Amino acid sequence: MQKKLLAMATAGALAVPGLALAQSSVEVYGTINMAAGKFKYTEGTAANTPSVSKWDVAQGASNWGLRGRETLGGGLSAWFQIETNAPMERSNDISATPASRNSAVGLQGAFGNVFIGQWTTPWADLDALWAIGTVGFWGPVTSIIGRRETTGTAPNPNCVNGHVSGVPGVSAATCNAVEAGGGVGHAFWRRASQSVSYQSPVVAGGLQAKVLYQTNEGKSTTGVVADPYMWSTSLQWAGMGGRARVGAAYDRHHDFTSVGGSDIGYAIKGGFNFGVVDVGLAYERMTYKTFTSDCRAKQYGIALAVPVGQGAIRASYSVAKDIEGSYTGAQTAVDTPNGSCGATPTAAAPTNDNGAKQWNLGYDHRFSKRTTVGVGYAVIKNDAGAQFTWTGAPPVQNGSSGSANSATTPFVGSDPSTFFVTITHRF
């Protein structure tokens, strides 16, 4: 009741005078997900990339939001959700932009659920079926699985967020800043903006289909002529009282890596709860289309959860294989994208040495349905040409803000690890 009163007060303060709150129910909700511990980076591949240990406080996708639903009659209801990041630490560059997370408005009935806005892809939704081996947020889903990307979706080749630069007569200031970086390695796991989604009703004892279409808002007829859009689809099933679950996803991203080509990916994820242990498995494969070579990436993982009292021992092991393909190039004309099938090649770190392995082990204890505390250890072993890390990991390995060291990822070839304590509270 207190959450509903708070939500109504918030909505009333922001509403245009004279308009009444028409929702049948509105609530405030959220998750605070924090960790503290000792973080370590080993030496990187290149010279002058020393090892370092740091104490750190990190946050993992903490958020808050408003959501509501109104019954329209005849089995039909309207709903909305507005979800925003909660930057619990200021140093990780996460902003509190309204509706920066899953936010949409839709209609739901016997036909299923149709909604428009910004939402995680059906591809990403499958991670809930298998990723039961993570304590806090130090696990494979925030590091290895689905992470062959810069960030974001729908690159515009005429903008600074695309894989082409220096297009004559095109101003990056005219482009939508919501669209993020593209090129080889764009995201398959990310939420998609400017999207239309459909989720079928659950039928046949646990079967559900999901489809998301990200519109071609960035279509261009001058500069680089391109038509970037994407489809993400999945089919999942849960049965035997929820003990068995499995899902498959297929994505197709048009004009993302190179104009005239469609990047594709497929994934199979699921698990089975044996009672004494819950097991999850994941496999995914992405193919990025370039003008001279396909870049093929493969990841897989296993997760375990063993119940102990009011908590569970959780563990995961995941692998990102070396990217197959030899394409590298520089921007020389509007019809030649830049990028590579991995890291920039050097003598010490060739592009075919860019895989990684991640494992984590820990215990979390659920004090209530809202509050969980956990402890554990996690490590990523990067190959000489890789720099995988976790979302929310400490910034800049050597603490420098220089242009060569401004990324939040570790140095190429460095292995990040952490001993941690996590606290998660849901409201």
Per-residue pLDDT of the chain (427 residues; tens, 9 = 90+): 445 444 444 444 444 443 444 557 899 999 999 999 999 999 988 888 889 999 999 888 899 999 999 999 999 999 999 999 888 876 555 556 788 889 999 999 999 999 999 999 999 999 999 999 999 999 999 888 876 554 344 555 555 445 444 444 444 444 443 333 333 456 677 788 889 999 999 998 899 999 999 999 888 888 778 898 999 999 999 999 889 999 999 999 888 777 888 889 999 999 999 999 999 999 999 888 876 667 788 999 999 999 999 999 999 999 998 887 754 443 333 333 334 454 444 544 445 678 899 999 999 999 999 999 999 999 999 998 888 888 778 878 888 755 444 455 788 889 999 999 999 999 9
Q: What pTM value is reported for the model? A: 0.83
Q: How far is CA 269 from CA 85, 110, 150, in A?
A: 27, 27, 23
Spell out the residues 6+ positions from residue 241 whose beta carbon is closer than 8 angstroms to its own. none
Q: Kindly report the length of the chain.
A: 427
Task: Give strand ranges (E) for 13-152.
Answer: 25-41, 52-59, 63-73, 76-85, 103-109, 112-120
How much helix, strand and coil, in percent to the nearest 5, is found in the chain? Answer: 10, 45, 45
Q: Tokens 């004892």, residue? A: 205
Longest CA–CA separation in the chain, Å: 68
Is the distance from CB of 411 to CB of 49 less than 8 angstroms? yes
Assign 12 to helix, strand or coil. helix
Distance CA 61, CA 63 (A): 6
Distance CA 275, CA 283 (A): 23
Backbone angles phi, psi at 323, to 5 degrees: -70, 130
Distance CA 8, CA 31 (A): 20
Tokens of 93: 């560059």
Using a 10 angstrom Cβ sphere, with 0-12 exposed, 13-18 middle and 19 or more buried, the burial of residue 408 is middle
The kind and range of the H/E element at 113 are strand 112-120
Q: Which of 231, 239, 236, 242 is closest to 265 using CA atoms?
A: 231
The kind and range of the H/E element at 252 are strand 244-254
Rounded to the nearest 10 degrees, how much is the dihedral formed by the CA atoms of 303, 307, 310, 313?
Answer: -50
Q: Looking at residue 180, what is its pLDDT? A: 35
Q: Which domains does the chain have, with CATH numbers?
A: 32-62+121-426 (2.40.160)
How is residue 122 annotated by DSSP?
H
How is residue 55 annotated by DSSP?
E
Distance CA 286, CA 145 (A): 11
Distance CA 38, CA 393 (A): 11
